[in-house]
């Protein structure tokens, strides 16, 4: 597979209990070297053939095999919603039957039943099992549902005889995965577009060692930038201080203060087709900066504050052809009323009303509880999302708005 053709793509690899599982390690290496972010799920019997540590070393992610490996999230739902494509290799006769029948009796089948992304299966079994009418019927059912079946080849089998049933070579399976991605949801619908994303907090200095800040970690903004790059956009990410690595294929501008973020965003606004402001920009900053450390012996300092610039409102006033998306963090049980007010007042196309403060969601977590509000009224109600899933939903909406804006201003 030439170059890094899978940069930023998220691939869920299911490994089942067949001798061909050793070849899946080569498949995972091919996918990761092509730039994919690979998450491996193993059935309990798969570990009899290849140890999970092998896949963990190749992917730099823990390998999951049990529905309750993670009790802080609904693991099979998170795995399903974060995947751009899923592949089962090897797919045993038993796995094909469970997938065709819609069974969900382990982590892998539960995740795949929940998933809406493209699915590739690479069967591997003895010839008699492959040619059995039951297996043939299950494979036909999967094909009719749009599953990509990479047929097994002929050759030496585990029992020592020759015949059809050998799992396809890793290179062939990787090519099928790449093709499935090119035809899957989202595709490259942002190709040729320039998008600007903001992320993280801002730090407003009080003295050389202290600042006003907030709990934002930047994960949501980085998920948005990663998804836009995957869909072909030219992405500029302006981020406050965060402990996250630069997303692949994204131009990253790192800032510290709200003033710096304002300058960088406004300087780039005219060139952008879409702007998604996911940063948690400070609303206030100290009116004065102390050039020396404030000493506690002097008592609590008098710390007058002043308002920072409202970047989103400034963009709304300047908006011409751009699609403009805001994020609003609210602690109310229902953040949509306040979100609707901001959507209108700031002249936005979309606003993600994000409920924060609840356990397991919002700042620092892997999920957001959010509604997507739209100026034209076709809202997405409040629900819990994996951040990668919410990023996909936002760009789906943005991509749908861009042609309409071109017709209006073009």
Contact 202, 255 (CB under 8 A): yes
Task: Take residue 199 and report the two structure tokens written for it.
Answer: 């992320």
* Residue 20 pLDDT grade (very low, low, confident, very high; cuts 50, 70, 90): very high
Task: Take residue 88 and report the two structure tokens written for it.
Answer: 């089962």
At residue 42, the pLDDT reads 97
**Distance separating alpha carbons of residues 11 and 177, to the nearest angstrom:** 9
- Give the CATH fold of the 194-409 domain: Rossmann fold (3.40.50)
**Distance separating alpha carbons of residues 230 and 190, to the nearest angstrom:** 9
* Residue 7 pLDDT grade (very low, low, confident, very high; cuts 50, 70, 90): confident
Judge whether residue 408 has pLDDT over 60.
no
**Distance separating alpha carbons of residues 311 and 308, to the nearest angstrom:** 9
Burial label for 245, CB within 10 Å (0-12, 13-18, 19+), is exposed
Q: 């090119």: which residue's tokens?
A: 182
Please compute the mean of the pLDDT values over residues 302-322 and round it to a whole number. Answer: 94
At residue 404, the pLDDT reads 54
Contact 383, 336 (CB under 8 A): no
List the alpha helices (DSSP H) in 161-218.
170-183
Strand partners, 195: 235, 274
* Residue 301 pLDDT grade (very low, low, confident, very high; cuts 50, 70, 90): confident
At residue 105, the pLDDT reads 93
pLDDT one-digit tens code per residue, 173-221: 998 898 788 665 445 788 889 999 999 999 999 999 999 998 899 999 9
List the alpha helices (DSSP H) in 102-196.
107-114, 127-130, 133-144, 170-183
At residue 216, the pLDDT reads 92
Burial label for 135, CB within 10 Å (0-12, 13-18, 19+), is buried
Please compute the mean of the pLDDT values over residues 326-331 and round it to a whole number. Answer: 91
Q: 């997405």: which residue's tokens?
A: 380
At residue 387, the pLDDT reads 85
Dihedrals phi, psi of 52, to nearest 5 degrees = -60, -25
Give yes or no: 234 in active site: no
pLDDT one-digit tens code per residue, 337-354: 999 999 999 999 999 999
Q: What is the DSSP letter of 167?
A: P
Please compute the mean of the pLDDT values over residues 369-377 and round it to a whole number. Answer: 92
Please compute the mean of the pLDDT values over residues 229-250 and round it to a whole number. Answer: 89
List the alpha helices (DSSP H) in 15-122.
21-33, 52-59, 75-82, 93-101, 107-114
pLDDT one-digit tens code per residue, 111-156: 999 998 999 999 999 999 999 999 999 999 998 888 989 999 888 8
| Cβ neighbours for 176, distance < 8 A, ≥ 6 positions apart | 87, 120, 122, 148, 150
Please compute the mean of the pLDDT values over residues 346-373 and round it to a whole number. Answer: 82
At residue 59, the pLDDT reads 96
pTM, to two decimals: 0.62
Determine which one of 214, 234, 347, 368 is catalytic: 214
Please compute the mean of the pLDDT values over residues 312-323 and round it to a whole number. Answer: 94
Please compute the mean of the pLDDT values over residues 295-311 and round it to a whole number. Answer: 89
In the chain, ranges of CATH 3.40.50.1950 domains: 10-183
**Distance separating alpha carbons of residues 310 and 34, to the nearest angstrom:** 41
In the chain, ranges of CATH 3.40.50.10300 domains: 194-409
Strands (E), 331-400: 350-355, 367-374, 380-386
Contact 396, 186 (CB under 8 A): yes
Judge whether residue 14 has pLDDT over 90.
yes
At residue 409, the pLDDT reads 46
Judge whether residue 322 has pLDDT over 50.
yes
**Distance separating alpha carbons of residues 379 and 371, to the nearest angstrom:** 7
* Residue 360 pLDDT grade (very low, low, confident, very high; cuts 50, 70, 90): low
**Distance separating alpha carbons of residues 203 and 210, to the nearest angstrom:** 9
Contact 248, 210 (CB under 8 A): no
**Distance separating alpha carbons of residues 184 and 187, to the nearest angstrom:** 6
CATH of domain 10-183: 3.40.50.1950
Judge whether residue 256 has pLDDT over 60.
yes
The alpha carbon torsion through 241, 265, 236, 316 (nearest 10 deg) reads 120
At residue 197, the pLDDT reads 98
**Distance separating alpha carbons of residues 90 and 23, to the nearest angstrom:** 8
* Residue 242 pLDDT grade (very low, low, confident, very high; cuts 50, 70, 90): very high
Report the chain's mean pLDDT, rounded to a whole number.
90
Judge whether residue 410 has pLDDT over 50.
no
Percentage of the chain with pLDDT > 70? Answer: 93
Give the DSSP per-residue string, 60-88: SS--B-STTS-TTTTHHHHHHHH-SEEEE
At residue 205, the pLDDT reads 95
Please compute the mean of the pLDDT values over residues 223-239 and round it to a whole number. Answer: 90
- Name the 3-class secondary structure at 137: helix
């Amino acid at each position: 597979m030439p170059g890094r053709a899978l940069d930023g793509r998220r691939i869920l690899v299911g490994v089942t209990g067949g001798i061909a599982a050793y070849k899946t390690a080569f498949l995972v290496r091919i996918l990761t070297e092509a730039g994919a972010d690979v998450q491996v799920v193993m059935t309990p019997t798969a570990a009899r053939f290849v140890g999970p540590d092998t896949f963990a070393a190749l992917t730099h992610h823990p390998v999951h095999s049990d529905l309750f490996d993670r009790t802080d999230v609904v693991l099979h739902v998170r795995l399903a919603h974060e995947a751009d494509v899923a592949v089962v290799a090897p797919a045993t006769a038993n796995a094909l039957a469970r997938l065709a029948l819609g069974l969900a009796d382990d982590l892998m089948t539960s995740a795949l039943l929940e998933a809406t992304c493209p699915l590739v299966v690479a069967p591997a079994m003895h010839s008699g099992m492959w040619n059995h009418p039951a297996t043939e019927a299950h494979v036909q059912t999967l094909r009719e549902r749009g599953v990509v079946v990479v047929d097994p080849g002929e050759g030496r089998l585990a029992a020592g005889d020759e015949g059809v049933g050998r799992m396809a070579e890793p290179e062939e399976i990787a090519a099928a995965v790449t093709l499935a991605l090119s035809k899957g949801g989202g595709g490259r619908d942002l190709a040729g577009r320039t998008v600007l994303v903001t992320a993280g907090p801002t730090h407003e200095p009080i003295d050389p060692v202290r600042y006003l800040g907030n709990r934002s970690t930047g994960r949501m903004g980085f998920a948005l930038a990663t998804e836009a790059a995957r869909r072909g956009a030219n992405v500029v990410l302006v981020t406050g201080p965060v402990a996250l690595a630069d997303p692949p294929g994204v131009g990253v501008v790192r800032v510290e203060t709200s003033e710096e973020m304002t300058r960088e965003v406004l300087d780039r606004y005219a060139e952008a087709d879409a702007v998604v402001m996911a940063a948690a920009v400070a609303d206030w900053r100290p009116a004065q900066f102390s050039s020396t450390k404030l000493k506690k012996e002097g008592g609590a300092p008098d710390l007058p504050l002043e308002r920072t610039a409202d970047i989103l409102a400034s963009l709304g006033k300047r908006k011409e052809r751009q699609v403009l998306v805001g994020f609003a963090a609210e602690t109310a049980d229902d953040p949509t009323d306040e979100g609707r007010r901001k959507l209108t007042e700031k002249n936005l196309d979309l606003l993600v009303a994000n409920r924060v403060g609840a356990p397991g969601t919002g700042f620092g977590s892997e999920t957001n509880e959010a509604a997507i509000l739209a100026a034209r009224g076709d809202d997405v109600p409040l629900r819990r999302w994996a951040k990668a899933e919410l990023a996909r939903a936002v760009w789906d909406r943005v991509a749908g708005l861009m042609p309409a804006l071109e017709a209006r201003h073009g």
